[in-house]
Amino acid sequence: MMKTDIIAPYPLSVKAKHFLKLSDYQPNEILYLLDSALEMKSLQKKGIPHPYLSGKVLGMIFEKSSTRTRVSFTVGMKQLGGDAIFLSSNDIQLGRGETVEDTAKVLSRYVDGLMIRTFAHETIECFAENANVPVINGLTDLHHPTQVMADLLTIYEHKGKLQGLKMCYIGDGNNNMCHSLLEGAVAVGMDIVVASPEAYAPNDHIFQEVKAKAQVTQSDVSFTTSAEEAVTDADIIVTDVWTSMGQEAEKEERLKIFAPYQVNTALCSHAKEDYLFLHCLPAHRGEEVTTEIIDGPHSVVFDEAENRLHAQKAILKALV
């Protein structure tokens, strides 16, 4: 275990068999995984082999297209000494009417773990209930936990801490990134404020659950319709596309609604001088963020993208 000041080694609980959403994990478990991710990154950068998963195979089911998720999980498994199999919904019987339950039971007989990138969160929960191997959420419409693990790792690397920092999320609050950022920020003791139009506020159940947990970690969680208010004195600014996969028909309407929430130079002037800008990518330059911000000195989006690899290797090592 690589010694850092994040946390001392702490084993995952028996309940943490799957990785579906960050709220399933205790704060010390999330910090344990981040510590392990730092170890994974250090080994990889030094060229030290780390075949923790030699002989293991990860099945990867994609109902949504992907760049970073597909490549990072594939490379991660190979660097850990294992292998990964890509399965699109068009390639397996799931796309021809076989039930999720049956698919999960069958694939469990072949592979050592499943990573799924899908639409409804209920789909991945059904997989987890019926699989006999760990199931990892590569993205659903409700949560994106592997991305947020990479985000937290990136923030720690650049800030040297997590607890006490202020994160603001600007844009569509009712999306998977916002929900997982809320859960992740509170777990590590960060303050977080979400700024979006009232009609696009975060899922209320998730928001209230996070607020309750914030009392334990002494984090502040809030919502506002003012982007300027959210950004004021922020250490980290995060945004995401205004139109996600499956929402293409709403694009023109969304461009108008979210225009006041664009992350640009004027808005960022209210943040701390050493703020970090994060975006899960792909980005729509000129929409949710301007080019001068995403390509500017405060942006760490490509460090963030790289850290998907290291964070996911830590998850794979812990679960598979």
| Alpha carbon distance 308, 239 (integer Å) | 17
Active site residue 147: yes
Active site residue 96: no
Active site residue 178: no
Which residues make up each annotated binding site for carbamoyl phosphate? 66-69, 93, 117, 144-147, 280-281, 308
Catalytic one of 70, 143, 147, 179: 147
Q: How far is CA 233 from CA 193, 230, 237, 267, 271, in A?
A: 11, 8, 10, 11, 4
Catalytic one of 24, 141, 151, 240: 240
Bridging pattern class, strands 191-195 and 166-170: parallel
H-helix segments, the chain: 27-45, 68-79, 100-107, 121-130, 145-159, 176-187, 204-217, 227-231, 251-258, 265-268, 291-294, 301-319
Catalytic one of 121, 254, 308, 310: 308
Bridging pattern class, strands 135-139 and 236-239: unpaired
Which residues make up each annotated binding site for L-ornithine? 176, 240, 244-245
Active site residue 163: no
Which residues make up each annotated binding site? 66-69, 93, 117, 144-147, 176, 240, 244-245, 280-281, 308
Active site residue 270: no
Catalytic one of 144, 279, 298, 310: 144
Catalytic one of 117, 121, 179, 279: 117
Name residue 135's beta-bridge partners.
114
Active site residue 240: yes
| Alpha carbon distance 247, 233 (integer Å) | 32
Catalytic one of 18, 35, 280, 312: 280
Cα angle for residues 251, 256, 260 (degrees, 5° grid)? 125
Q: Which residues are catalytic?
A: 117, 144, 147, 240, 280, 308
